Structure 1
Amino acid sequence: MPKVVDHEQRRQEIAAAVWRLASTSGLESVSLRQVAAEAGVSMRLVQYYFETKHGMLLYALKHLNEVLEQRVRARLDLGREPTAREIIRASLLELVPVDEHGRMVSLVFIAFFVRALNDPDMGEAFRGDGTDELAAFFAGLIRDSQAAGASPAWLDPEREVATLIAVANGMGPDVLVGTATAEKVLATLDYNLDRVFPPVD
Structure 2
Amino acid sequence: MKLYFHPASTTSRIILLFVSEEGIPFEPEVVDILSGAHLSGSFPSINPKRLVPALDDDGFIVTESAAILRYLAAKTGSAAYPTDLKERARVDEMIDYLNSDFYRDWGYNMIYPQLFPHHKRESDAAHEGTVRWGQDRVRNGLAYLDSVLAKQRYLAGDKLTIADYFGAGVFSAGELIRVDLAQFPNLQRWYESMRSLPSWPKVSEALEGFKGMLKDMSFVSIP
Return the TM-score normalized by structure 2: 0.29
Higher RCO structure (Cα 8 Å, ≥6 apart): 2
Which structure features the higher share of helix residues? 1
Query: Which is richer in strand?
Result: 2
Structure with larger Rg:
1
